[in-house]
Amino acid sequence: MPRFLIVIVMLLVPHSLVAGERVSATNFYVLNQEDINVGGVVFWQQDNAGTFTVSEGPIEAGFVRCLGSGFDFDGGGICIYGTGPDTFTMRWKVIGFGMNRWHIIDATGKYAGMRGRGTTETRVKSKFLKLKHRISDWVGEIELPKRN
């Protein structure tokens, strides 16, 4: 009887909830951030550009630009990956010091229809916090539509 219920549940789960392919990538960029102390909290805004490499997954390495803002550890933004007609954009939200949660909000060209989500960890501990260069490792799952 339990197998029968599992089959029924699997048939009812929409395709969009089926896990995608694992992705693992790393952003390398120069930190371009402005911090403004406002009433005991820090408002920050950033516009960082650089490159990214791919360790695992069906995407190609290339250019990345990340924009964001917030107060202290409450904020978020977007990262645009790629150039020209083939790009994808992830939206991210700060969940802790150097930690973000992301999901894909737009994709064009060969990435059109892409979906995905995951987490990012920026290497801000120890020596990296004082440097103007940042390295962010992101992992998750993405789905690309099947092309004919």
Question: What is the residue extent of each domain of the chain?
Answer: 23-142
Q: Which CATH number fits domain 23-142: 2.40.50, 2.40.350, 1.10.10, 3.40.50?
A: 2.40.350
Q: Which residues pair with 25 in a beta bridge?
A: 54, 138
Q: Cβ of 31: how many Cβ atoms within 10 Å? A: 14
Over residues 1-18, mean pLDDT: 40
pLDDT tens digits, one per residue of 36-95: 999 999 999 999 999 999 999 999 999 999 999 999 989 999 999 999 999 999 999 999
Q: What average pLDDT does the structure give for the chain?
A: 87
Q: Assess whether pLDDT exceeds 90 at residue 126.
A: no
The torsion region of residue 40 among left (phi > 0), alpha (psi -120 to 50) and beta comes to left
Measure the CA–CA gap between 9 and 16, rounded to whole angstroms.
14
pLDDT of residue 7: 37
Measure the CA–CA gap between 59 and 114, rounded to whole angstroms.
10
